Structures are given as C-alpha cells and as structure tokens.
Amino acid sequence: MAFQEEFTLKTSPRYLKGVGPERSVLLTRLDLRTLEDLFYFFPRRYEDRRQVKSVSELVAGEKECVAGLVSSRGLVRTRSGQTIFKVVVSDKKSRLFAVWFNQAYLSKVFLPKSKVVLCGKVEKEGDHFQMVHPEYEIPVLENIHSGRIVPIYSLTEDLYQKSIRALLFRLLKEKLSLVRDPLPPPVRKRLGLAESAYAFKQIHFPDDFESQKAAYERLVFDEFFLMQLFVQIKKNEIQRENSAISHAGGKEEVERLIESLGFSLTNGQRNAIEEILQDMKKPRPMNRLIQGDVGSGKTAVAAAALVFTVANGFQGALMAPTEVLAQQHFITLTQMLEPLGISCGYLAQGVTPEERSRLLGAAAAGEIQVLVGTHALIQESVKFKKLGLVVIDEQHKFGVSQRSRLKEKSGGSAHFLLMTATPIPRTLAMTLYGDLDISSITELPKGRKPITTLWTGEDRRGEIYDFVDGLLAKGGQGYVICPLINESGAFSPKGVLAAHQELTQIFDHRRVGILHGKMKSEEKKKIVTDFKEKRLDILISTVVIEVGIDVPNASFMIVENAEKFGLAQLHQLRGRVGRGSEESFCVLFSDTAHEESRERLGVFEKTQSGFVLANEDLKLRGAGEFVGEKQHGFLKLRIGDLAKDVEILERAKREAKNFILKDPRLERPEHRLLKAMLRGRFKAVDKKITVLA
C-alpha cells in the first residue's frame, strides 16, 4: 500500500487503518471518496441500545441487546453445502440461541466462556429465546455496536453496518482534528450553536438524544448557511455586472390596461404589479418570480409589465414551454394589448417559413412590440431592436442556459420576469431562488368556485360515467387525462389511444376527441379549437393540456391512474376546469395499494390550495418534485430537510445576508475558511461567480 505522509480532508479512505484499496473501491459505491465524504456520511436513523439486558430479562417480539456467556457453540453443514453456526448464550436462569447462516468464521470469534453482547429481534422457541443473524460485539473498554445509541447508515451490497460503524468510529477518534470550524467563535456563540468537531462526533455517536439534536442543528445550519451565502453572492454579482435602462414613465398606460380588462384585479395582482413597476424603475435589471395558483391571473400581471416596457420605448418577449400554452398567451395578450395600440407576434415551430421570415424582420426592426413564442425565441436568428423585458412562463420547465439565452438578446440589460403556476414552498424558494425577488398571488379572482374532487376506484366507474353523461346532456364539456399515449403491457397505465377507443363506444352519442404530444402542430391546434368552440364534448389527452388551455365551459375532468402524477401536476391538471360559472368536478381513478400514493391522493382530494399542496409534496416527495437535477444540482442536501427545518433555514438566511452586507467578497481573515468551503462546494455550480473563481 502506498504511504500517505499527511492526512487531509481530501485524503482517500484507503489510507485509513483497516481499509486499503479493495474496501475503498466498495466505498466509492456510496460516493465516499475522501475523508470529508466520510465525515458527511450521516446516519439515516439510530437504535437505542443503551440498555443491555440479561437473557432472563428478554421480551419476545422486541429488538433487544443482551449480554451473557458463551456456554456452547457448534457448526453444522447441510447436504446442500450451507453452514449453520449456532451459539448458546446464557445467564444463571435462561438460555438464548443465536443462529447465523453461511458465516463459519464466527467459530473463531465466539470462544467458550467468553462474554458477548448480541443485538437483534428476540423470538421464543420452546423453552428458550432465539435471535437470527444478530449483531454481536465482544465487550471492550469502549463499545461501538451496543451499550450506546447506535447509528444506522444507508448502505449498498457488500458493505455492512458493523464495518461502516467501526470505520466512522475510528475516523472520529483519530482524525477529528481535521475538522475546522468555519464560523468565527463570536458568531457561533451568539447563535448558540455547537462547535463543528463536537457536532460531527455527536451526529455519528451521540452521548444522548439531546446531544444528537444539538449536533443536527449545527450541521443543518452550516449546510443552509453555505447555500444562502452562495445565493447572496450570486445576487450581488448579477446586480453589479448588469445595468438596465430604468423605466421612467408608463404608469398611465398600465392604468389604461387595468381599466380595460373588464374585471377587477385581486390585491395579490395589484401588489405584484406595483413591485414589478418599482423594480423596472431601478437602474439594474429586475429579477422577479411571480408564483400564483392555477387561475390566479398571472397573465394580467405579465401584460401590465409588457405595457410598461413598451410605454418606455422597449420591446417585450414572452416564452412558454409548449405551443398550446404559447398560443393561449398570444391570444390573451393580443386581446389585451392591441386595443392599446401594441403590436403582438407569435413564433413557434408550427409557423410557416413565410410568416417566420416576416416576424423576424418585424422584431429586428422594432415593429413587433411584444413577441410570444416557445423555445423558437432563443434561436440565433431571432433578434430584437430594443428588448427591455423578458417574461418566461412555467420557468421550471426551462434550463438555466435556455432562460439566459433569451435575456442575452438584450445584451444582458433586459428586465427578467419569471412566472410559475406550481407554487413553491417557502423554504425551497428561499434556497433555490435566493437570487430572485418573489411575488406571491395567493387569492383567486372573485367568482371562482371550489372544484369538487373525488378519489375513487374501478368499482364506481359506471356510476361516474352516468354522472358525466348528465353533465354533457346539460351542455357541459370535460377532459379525460391518461399518463401515456399508448399502453406498453398488461399492467401498464391506461393510454389515450385505448381510452379513446373505449369511450367512443361508451359515449357513442357524444363527440370525443384525442390530443397528445406526438400529433402535428396543425392537428393539435385544430383539436384545441374544436374543443373551445364546443364541436367536441370530451377531450382525451395526456398532460399536454396541463397548462395553457382555457375553456370556461369545461366542467369535469377524469384522471386515469392518478397515482402516476405528483401533487403539483394533479393541481395543474385540475386547474383546467372550474373556469366558468358552473360547478366543476375532478375525479381521480386509482386502486393503488402504495402507501405514499394513497397518502398523496388523500391530501389532494381534500385540498384546493396549490400553496398547501406544494408543502405537502415537499414533505412526501422532496425537492425533486419542483426542480430538475441538472438545473440545480447544488440542492442535494446532505442532512437538512426543507420540509421541517424552516426555522434553521430562516436563521441561516438572515446570517448570510448580514455576512455579505459587511464583507461582500468574504475577504476578512476570519472569513477565509468559509470562502474556501464555498469554493469547494459551489464552484462547479456556477463558474461565472468571480468571488469563487
């Protein structure tokens, strides 16, 4: 084995005593490539093994730790070649049989009359107790696996709790001095946090659960604090590097738009518009996210921002992830803006070459003041004369590079407005969008009725179809949503093609249409138009209708295999109904036995608010439901939990803002270690940040 002169946090575990090259390869399966990785390999849970009983005190059916003497042992080989090793551990009153399969080497571990401690589930076999494959320990001065609170780790094949636990115990005993505290002592004391070294020791091998809690709080604080430092530094750099032409006038034109809408804005909409106008008056680019529930009126807010930029002599661009949604925005904005003398254009894949050429020329000349489209807007051929505002709807469906490429068409000086109808939990927004200002529209426009939601199984399908037919007879329309286009096997979820075939027979007196992502643009456009103009009664679709279709007459939705969808997506789908004056219904079909899916569907059935559902989704499914890994790899939390550690996150954010306010580039001597840790953690996430270069 190669000689390791000096250990650092970046040293490979192979140089630790008892590891070596072969075991270090096994450790890489868990991404444990350095000593630092080992320190941060936190337990997933703990077992309280502080109480070690005698054999006679054991209780059948419980997980117990027992101490006793080896009174006999034996190794049996079966005809099939297996080995069974059995040890009898006893006290003066009772006996315990411990059994292991195919572990013959244990005959050299359990010596006659030696004292052992066994931990496992106790079973009663006749007149004696039994444990199958218990953990064992030969008592020494300082036990690792018994007589204490014992850590349990998430492992993979060929790695075992005892060996990992022993490795971590040795690391903490011999190399804990490698851990340096990044927080200056006065700050740590003011915040009432434990020291770093103490936290690492107690998180792995706690003296008691109070010490484990103090360790957890410190390590979670550090994780969130580094993240918040990163987003604060990023926000500073964005503001310092880019300048925008401030918008001076235009408030009167915005008021004209609001008066022409034909409906009253909610307080949330008015507040969001006011925040946007204030941002756009500043000499730095606006970076704002509007999050609002399905149907909360975000488009009207975006229209006000577009009017404001046009009134100041600039152009606006709105990008949406699908043609259906982009088309809907184009129609809505044209109706709102053209009466005010603002010209609008639409650019997407389905546009003819002639129309595309005309649009490109008009946008470059400044003749089109608001250009709406899909990814087509970020193509190199698309140029603007004077782009002042970029609006991106359903922004989480675009990558960071796609969003920035549209903004770059203004030389980086355009104001930036992101919109999402997938409300983001407050903790996730603080972490993920710390470099953005956030406006939340929490209330729905007046007159919107709650949507009656029912989760049911196959046994009520006939009853539901009769109910739907009654709604159709009264002139209603509705959707049937399937998770797939085509079924792929006997146990596959229902596909739209099979559903279409089935429902055209069941509802043979109704007009049934079909819509999915593989259809050509013109086909999709015709189907959507037919549905809007009531030439179709039922539209069977994939999630392509998740956003963008606004049909006030649609009063019901059926979701097949509802367990295949997340809460946020179900909420988006449900938002396609309930847009008119009639009472609306959403029926979820699912006979799933999966516990988490049943919990999710139960929550959805009872909850109308997207903000409440977002928090439930975070608890049930984690941050991955809201954000793609490529876009935000830095959100892989080692220990923190965005659903439950809200208070720690808020403290970390406050402290990070104070740090960056006083020392924007972390140049003070007492902050050098923090800066080095930030560089190591986030340099790969955003190479443009000069502080981390």
Cβ contact 580:534 at 8 Å: no
Residue type, 516: H
Q: Which of 36, 181, 179 is nearest to 670 (CA)?
A: 181
Residues 298 and 258 in one domain: yes
| DSSP-assigned letters across all residues of 173-222 | HHHGGG----S-HHHHHHHTPPPHHHHHHHHHS-SSHHHHHHHHHHHHHH
Structural domain contains residue 75: yes
**Whole-angstrom Cα Rg for the chain:** 31
Residues 255 and 233 in one domain: no
- Give the containing element (helix H, strand E) for 479: strand 477-481
* pLDDT score of 624 more than 50: yes
Residues 471 and 361 in one domain: no
- Please report the pLDDT score of residue 190 as a whole number: 95
Structural domain contains residue 158: no
* pLDDT score of 623 more than 80: no
Tokens of 22: 């072969």
- Give the containing element (helix H, strand E) for 518: none
Residues 304 and 377 in one domain: yes
- What is the rounded CA–CA span in Å between residue 344 and residue 338? 7
- pLDDT tens figures, 373-409: 988 898 889 999 999 999 998 766 666 666 677 777 7
Structural domain contains residue 182: no
Where residue 385 falls (left for φ over 0; alpha for ψ -120 to 50; beta otherwise) is alpha
635 contact partners, CB below 8 Å, separation of at least 6: 431, 432, 623, 627
Residues 117 and 130 in one domain: yes
Q: Dihedral through CA 662, CA 665, CA 668, CA 672, nearest 10?
A: 130
Residues 527 and 659 in one domain: no
* pLDDT score of 473 more than 80: yes
Residues 415 and 457 in one domain: no
Q: Which of 421-435, 512-526, 665-679 has the lowest mean pLDDT?
A: 421-435
For the beta carbon of residue 25, count every other beta carbon within 10 angstroms. 11
Residues 113 and 173 in one domain: no
* pLDDT score of 4 more than 80: no
Burial letters for 443-460: b for 16+ Cβ neighbours within 10 Å, e otherwise?
ebbeebeebebebbeeee
Give the CATH number, domain containing residue 93: 2.40.50.140
Structural domain contains residue 290: yes
Structural domain contains residue 597: yes
Residues 490 and 546 in one domain: yes
- Please report the pLDDT score of residue 546 as a whole number: 60
Last-in-domain residue among 390, 412, 441: 441
222 contact partners, CB below 8 Å, separation of at least 6: 182, 183, 196
Residues 211 and 296 in one domain: no
Structural domain contains residue 5: yes
Tokens of 384: 């603007």
- pLDDT tens figures, 208-234: 999 999 999 999 999 999 989 988 888
Domain count, the chain: 5
* pLDDT score of 550 more than 80: no
Last-in-domain residue among 545, 579, 607: 607
- pLDDT tens figures, 433-442: 666 788 888 8
| Position with higher pLDDT, 508 vs 568 | 508
- pLDDT tens figures, 493-508: 778 898 999 999 999 9
pTM of this prediction exceeds 0.75:
no
Residues 602 and 656 in one domain: no
Beta strands in 45-183 (DSSP E): 45-48, 52-53, 63-77, 83-90, 95-101, 115-121, 123-125, 128-132, 135-137, 149-152
Residue that has been written with the tokens 């080692």 in this structure: 638
Structural domain contains residue 187: no
- Please report the pLDDT score of residue 97 as a whole number: 94
Residue type, 170: R
SS3 label, residue 232:
helix
Q: Which of 505, 510, 508, 539 is nearest to 524 (CA)?
A: 539
Beta strands in 542-678 (DSSP E): 554-559, 585-589
Q: Which domain holds residue 221?
A: 196-241+648-692
Residues 219 and 265 in one domain: no
Last-in-domain residue among 411, 441, 471: 441
Phi, then psi, of 51 in degrees rounded to 5: -90, 110
Q: What does the DSSP 8-state code read for residue 34?
A: S
Q: What does the DSSP 8-state code read for residue 408?
A: G
- What is the rounded CA–CA span in Å between residue 209 and residue 191? 21
Length in residues, the chain: 693
Q: Give me the chain's average pLDDT, please.
A: 87
Give the CATH number, domain containing residue 377: 3.40.50.300
